[in-house]
Amino acid sequence: MEAVLLKTSHEDLFLQAGYYLALQFHSGWVVSRILGREWANLRPFSVGSIAAGAHLAAWNEIKDTTDKHYLEPAQRWLFYHTFWGINTPNARVYVQYPSKDDIGSLTTTLREVDGDIGYVPGVESPYEGPFSVRTELFTVYEKYPAYQVSNVTKDAFANVIFNFSTMKYTYQLIKDKKLIEELLLGRKQCKKYTMGRVDPGPTSIPKWLEDLVGALLVKWTKDLVESESLPVEARR
């Protein structure tokens, strides 16, 4: 008898109106409440054929013919929440977010494409789902990902196709320090997401977003979380 592994559908991970969301940037956290949502998708998105033992000629930023990034919100008042699947089970998919920053790497140098580090196997996130939680991505205006696909098999991939499932959110920024403290320290439920890598640090916050939140408040959130992460004796 085969063991069956049940996975939570990515549909259950999308946020409802009223939910809180905290995005971690290098300089601190941006905390918001979801006001509304609208589904969207991009399927099929072809990145072309890949010969045996090869990979894409360049990182693909998922753009249209006018160089608009599909996975980057078109407006500042939107957040995008995306998961993806791929039609080639034997593919190795590498992600950079933002572009040029490796996600999932175990090395401090630029990750080797075709290597054994930091990729999502196509079989773990199939085109029709269920999509792997490792494909989860939040994007804001001026931040977008890039993808690389590797074929380490002895057979060519005729046409590699992605399926992106996205929820677009409108949001309200939270500036109440007491509420932010309760959310960031786990006293109230809140979805927390690191924007980019954790090492050497998350990506920088876009200037427009920092201006809306306030640079001092963003720094305060970082100090809050880092001080609460220290042992009690170290905080004295």
Residue type, 119: Y
Distances 35 to 14, 19, 115 between C-alpha atoms, Å: 13, 8, 42
DSSP 122: G
User: Tokens 């790497």, residue?
Assistant: 105
Q: In the chain, which ranges are E strands? A: 20-25, 28-50, 78-86, 92-96, 102-103, 120-121, 137-139, 146-150, 157-173, 191-194
Burial tier of 84 (Cβ tally within 10 Å: 0-12, 13-18, 19+): buried
| pTM summary value | 0.92
Q: What is the pLDDT along the chain (236 residues), one digit of tens a residue?
A: 444 455 678 888 999 999 999 999 999 999 999 999 999 999 999 999 999 999 999 999 999 999 999 999 999 999 999 999 999 999 999 999 998 899 988 877 777 788 888 999 999 999 999 999 999 999 999 999 999 999 999 999 999 999 999 999 999 999 999 999 999 999 999 999 999 999 888 999 999 999 999 999 999 999 999 987 654 444 44
